Each structure stands twice: as structure tokens, then as C-alpha cells.
């Protein structure tokens, strides 16, 4: 078993984002999540539940609670096993969030009445469905964030927001993917060197390792000023879908489609199939992994059961609006991101934030 790595070995876990910004240095420092209401997330299914069937999908509002804890609460409330409760995505604990769950009982069951089921958990809506809700089912998340103790030059802020609207931002994985104090990355390092773990712990380590390598590759493209530059062997991902295709560098429509946000360059979430790219693009991926000194991670992930996948290196925020109150030193942001993208990656292009929830955590059963 190898020694525990220092947090300095994994800079993306530090308080200030260390992956390079695309649009320049942050314009201010600020405080994030001074209270739960400062970080609000609403899950958008993107479709209407079936309207009939043996399952019920519940739109639930939670405050200061984790998704797994709410799953346990719903299981106890409905008299079913926790494994029978479904949900689409994990939502932040230190926040007010709305997300969908499913339980295998009819919608007419009185236990599913709209209203509170705990001090900080309420059922907002019920809909009958034919199947259990599975992970990754929803299409997007809408965010309403407040960053406090900030100071901006109004013109600079307006210009930066305009660039984010027009060009998007690097699709980095957020710090939470790597675990508290990089615990998931520490475990990945141990497993890649022959250590053992089972079940969810191993899954978290694999996910963290894949995300770390993706961020490293994306950071290399950003650092070279080539985030949206196409190379031989690159694959384009269609916006709003998982569909992808190998690009033709001679296609005259390629620059226009890229600028419009219709397509994005991609990178591999490493797995048993190796790189999803080819040619010069695949060579750049391997070079970025070598620069991170993570060849042993690549080998370990290729021996895992996880299939390689593609993820766009650029993401566009939908309906991005802002309100800056200079007197209150407060910035309010609202925007929508596709499932799997992190609001903190957008924030890093604007503000060097201190997430106060990390410093103010108290013992809780949630």
C-alpha cells in the first residue's frame, strides 16, 4: 500500500481552482454558500413522466441534505427498501435543491401526498410512471447562485459574462468529484498500485481517476490556447446529446458549427477500451497523462470494468443572466447546464470563490 498523497499533489482539490482559466484570471474574490439559499439547483427532466404505471416519480425539495440521505428517508416513509428508491442525479448537500425520485408504489397512495415529510424535505409533485427512475435520466440542471463579498468593475464583468455566453467554458469536473481532501484520488492512487477496494468505494475511485485525467487533458488544451482547435482524430460531440463523430478537418462548416456551440471537441473518460480518439488527438491525450505522471492509472483503468466514454471539453451555459449589486457586494447568477457539468467550473471563470460550506460543516446525519 502506498503512502497517502498530500493534497498539494492534486491542485484541483485546493480552495482556489488550479486548472487554467480560458477567459483570463478571476475578476474578484468572493464567498460561496454563506447559507443554503445561496446555492439553488433545480433538476430538469426534459420530458413528462408516463402518467400511468406501478411506480411514482416524486419531485422533492431538500435543504441541507444529501441525495442518499433523502433516499433513505423516502424508503422509510413509503415502507420500501432503499434499493427500490430511484433518482437521476446526486445533488449538493449545502444547498436548496429540487430533484426527482421514484418509489415502487401507486401515485394514489396517501403517503405520497404533496407536503413536508421531514423538517427540510418536502414532496412538491407526484406522477405515475411505468419504471424506476435511473441515474442520468434528466437532461439539465438550472442554477440560481449568490456570491457574496465581491467587487467588480461593471464593464469588465459585463464583458466576461458576454464571453461566457458566446464561447462557453472548459467542462472541468468540480472539486467534489475528487472527494473531501482528495480522498477519492488517494484511493485511486492506492488501487492503481495494487491496493484493493470493493463496491461504491472502488466506483468512486475509478470515477475520480477518469475525471482527473479528463481535467488534465482539457487543461492542456486550455493552456496551449487550443481548447476549440480541431486535430486529426478528434471526435465532435453534438450539443445536448451523446452522439459523436470523427471530424473532417476539411469540412467548411466545422468552424461555424463550433463557434455556434452546435458541436464540441471531446476527450476520453478512460476505461477498458482506452482512448476514444485517434491520430494526433489520441497522442495529445497520452501526452497529457504522461505529464500528470499517471501512466499507471491509464493501465489500471484499462483493466477495469468501466467502458471508455467521451465528454465534451467545452460546455455552454443556457440562459445565463446576472445581477451585480455593488452596494451589497453581491453577484446573483442564473443559468442552465447539461447533466454532468459543474457550476463551479463556470464560477471559476468569474470569481475566485471560497466555499464557506467546507469551513462551516457541522456534525449531521444527512
Longest dimension (CA), the chain: 62
How far does CA 139 lie from the centroid of its chain?
Answer: 13
- Residue found under cell 497522442: 283
How far apart, in whole angstroms, are the C-alpha atoms of residue 309 and residue 273? Answer: 9
User: What backbone phi and psi angles, to 5 degrees, belong to 332?
Assistant: -110, 130
Cell of 112: 405520497
How far apart, in whole angstroms, are the C-alpha atoms of residue 309 and residue 153? Answer: 41
Torsion angle, CA of 42/47/48/53, rounded to 10 degrees? -110
Catalytic residue among 38, 92, 186, 234: 92
How far does CA 10 lie from the centroid of its chain?
Answer: 18
Cell of 54: 406501478
How far apart, in whole angstroms, are the C-alpha atoms of residue 58 and residue 75? Answer: 12
- Residue found under cell 451585480: 324
Number of H helices, E strands in the chain: 9, 17
Cell of 39: 446555492
How far does CA 267 lie from the centroid of its chain?
Answer: 15
Known catalytic residue at 109: no
CB 227 within 8 A of CB 221: yes
Q: Which residues contact 138 (CB under 8 A, 6 or more apart)?
A: 43, 44, 45, 46, 88, 89, 99, 100, 339
Catalytic residues: 92
Amino acid at each position: 500500500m502506498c503512502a497517502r498523497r498530500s493534497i498539494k499533489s492534486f491542485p484541483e482539490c485546493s480552495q482556489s481552482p488550479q486548472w487554467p482559466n480560458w477567459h483570463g484570471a478571476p475578476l474578484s474574490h468572493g464567498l460561496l454558500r454563506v447559507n443554503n439559499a445561496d446555492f439553488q439547483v433545480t433538476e430538469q427532466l426534459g420530458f413528462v413522466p408516463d402518467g400511468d404505471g406501478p411506480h411514482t416519480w416524486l419531485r422533492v425539495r431538500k435543504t441541507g441534505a444529501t441525495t442518499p440521505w433523502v433516499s433513505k428517508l423516502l424508503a422509510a416513509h413509503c415502507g420500501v427498501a432503499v434499493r427500490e428508491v430511484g433518482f437521476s442525479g446526486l445533488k449538493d448537500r449545502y444547498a436548496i435543491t429540487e430533484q426527482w425520485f421514484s418509489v415502487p408504489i401507486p401515485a394514489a397512495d396517501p403517503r405520497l401526498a404533496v407536503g413536508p415529510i421531514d423538517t427540510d424535505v418536502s414532496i412538491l409533485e407526484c406522477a405515475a410512471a411505468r419504471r424506476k427512475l435511473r441515474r442520468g435520466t434528466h437532461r439539465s440542471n438550472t442554477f440560481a447562485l449568490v456570491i457574496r463579498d465581491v467587487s467588480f468593475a461593471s464593464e469588465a464583468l459585463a464583458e466576461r459574462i458576454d464571453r461566457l455566453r458566446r464561447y462557453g467554458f472548459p467542462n472541468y469536473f468540480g472539486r467534489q468529484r475528487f472527494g473531501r481532501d482528495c480522498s477519492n484520488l488517494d484511493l485511486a492512487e492506492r488501487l492503481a498500485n495494487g491496493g484493493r477496494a470493493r463496491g461504491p468505494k472502488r466506483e468512486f475511485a475509478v470515477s475520480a481517476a477518469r475525471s482527473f485525467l479528463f481535467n488534465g487533458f482539457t487543461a492542456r488544451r486550455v493552456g496551449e490556447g487550443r481548447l476549440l482547435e480541431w486535430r486529426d482524430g478528434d471526435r465532435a460531440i453534438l450539443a445536448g446529446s451523446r452522439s459523436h463523430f470523427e471530424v473532417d478537418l476539411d469540412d467548411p462548416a466545422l468552424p461555424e458549427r463550433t463557434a455556434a456551440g452546435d458541436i464540441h471537441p471531446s476527450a476520453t473518460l478512460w476505461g477498458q477500451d482506452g482512448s476514444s480518439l485517434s491520430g494526433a488527438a489520441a497522442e495529445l491525450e497520452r501526452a497529457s497523462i504522461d505529464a500528470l505522471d499517471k501512466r499507471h492509472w491509464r493501465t489500471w483503468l484499462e483493466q477495469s470494468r468501466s467502458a471508455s466514454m467521451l465528454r465534451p471539453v467545452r460546455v455552454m451555459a443556457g440562459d445565463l443572466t446576472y445581477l451585480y449589486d455593488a452596494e451589497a457586494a453581491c453577484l446573483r447568477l442564473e443559468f442552465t447546464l447539461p447533466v454532468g457539468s459543474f457550476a463551479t467550473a463556470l464560477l471559476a471563470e468569474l470569481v475566485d470563490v471560497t466555499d464557506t460550506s467546507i469551513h462551516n460543516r457541522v456534525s449531521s446525519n444527512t
